[in-house]
Amino acid sequence: MSLLSVRDLTVKFAMRDNTVTALDNISFDLAKGERLGIVGESGAGKSITGFALMNLLSRPGFIDNGKILFEGEDIANMSDAQMRGIRGNRMAMIFQDPMVTLNPVLTIGQQMVETLMAHRKLSKAEAEQIAVVKLREVYIPSPEERLAQYPHELSGGMRQRIIIAMALLLDPELIIADEPTTALDVTIQADIMELLLELCQSNKVGLILITHDLGVVSQMTERTLVMYAGKIIEAGRTREIINDPQHPYTQGLINALPQQTKPGMRLKQIPGNMPSLTAIPAGCPFSPRCEYVRDHCRTTRPEPVQYAHVEVACHEVNRLHRENSEEQSA
């Protein structure tokens, strides 16, 4: 049985007089200890997926339909109390910006201890001991002293390490990390990612890494979902997706990477912008920007199909493949 199994998850936002679909029939699975990347531009629905998995969507967002089976139990229909027992305990989350994630008026120690005591019967001293052990695991120097410090006394990188330590406090089965390094200095981004990878591997924790950075995904994850306008448009093993992307959008993303471009050449960009959630085209959401577009793309929504080693939602994937291989052989 997989650790997490998402089926037809649909998330909507209640607007002034109608609703807007933010996640459209998302389905995917995650095995125990597996690391999955969710990539896409901002607004594609990556973060919403993360929060929906924690059942933490705040109004006006709500889960409209679908199942989120976590070890066989459906999170989407759980009571608040049941859900509380899972959050932070069996499923932990790492937020984007460590500067605003920790409560400014509580010490690091208080915030770690409360997490432990919310889920385990422990004395404060025992909880502090566990906290110190976990802080040491994320290479925080002199962890005992950190417990008495307030967040503002620590650097951003240090805070994100602490948040990673907090995620590991109760040995969860799954960690959801929502762009965990975007808010940090470039110089420490790689360190944090490496640490996260190391800890997930050594503790056999499942990871859902939400990012816009395909480079990060290729280093960190085994499988990848590519999202566009609230839909999964391509899913498969990370290696396959990076090396042989099938969907024109994914191809565009990879071609836009600086590594794919010779020095001195212009970076290739995908023309246009992702549609806003209120104005998603009727057919394939990518059709207005797609260079391979045909008439039926604009009217019929493509269903995901197995192609090569990936699952891809594109009507023209056959033709695309043919043209590409002709191009290469020519």
Partner 1 sequence: MLAYLVKRVFQAIAVMLVISLVGFAIQDNLGDPLRELVGQSVSEEVRQELRDELGLNDSFLKQYTRFLGNALQGDLGTSYFFKEPALDVILKKLPATLELVLGATLIIVGLSVPLGVYTAIKPNTILSRLIMGISIVGISIPVFLTAILMIFVFSVEFGWLPSYGRGDVVTVFGHWDTNFATLDGWAHILLPSLALASIMLPLFVRLIRAEMMEVLQSEYVKYAKAKGIRPFRIYFVHALKNTLLPVITVGGVQIGTMVAYTILTETVFQWPGMGFMFLEAVNRVDTPLIVAYLIVVGFIFVLTNTVVDLIYGLVNPTVNLARMGA
Give contact residues for partner 1 (rule: CB under 8 A).
Answer: 54, 56, 58, 80, 84-89, 92-93, 95, 97, 100-106, 114-115, 118-119, 150, 152, 166
**143, β-bridge pairs:** none
* Nearest approach, Cβ of residue 290 and partner 1 (Å): 36
37 and 225 Cβ atoms separated by less than 8 Å: yes
Complex with partner 1: residue 115 or 287, whichever CB lies closer: 115
* Nearest approach, Cβ of residue 141 and partner 1 (Å): 21
Say which residues have a Cβ less than 8 Å from residue 285's Cβ, sequence separation at least 6. Answer: 228, 229, 230, 231, 233, 275
Complex with partner 1: residue 65 or 110, whichever CB lies closer: 110
* Nearest approach, Cβ of residue 167 and partner 1 (Å): 9
Complex with partner 1: residue 6 or 175, whichever CB lies closer: 175
Complex with partner 1: residue 165 or 241, whichever CB lies closer: 165
* Nearest approach, Cβ of residue 7 and partner 1 (Å): 23
The 3-state DSSP class for residue 159 equals helix
C-alpha span between 286 and 273 (Å, rounded): 10
* Nearest approach, Cβ of residue 183 and partner 1 (Å): 11
Say which residues have a Cβ less than 8 Å from residue 111's Cβ, sequence separation at least 6. Answer: 102, 103, 166
C-alpha span between 212 and 227 (Å, rounded): 10
Complex with partner 1: residue 156 or 281, whichever CB lies closer: 156
Interstrand relation of 310-312 and 231-237 (parallel, antiparallel or unpaired) = antiparallel
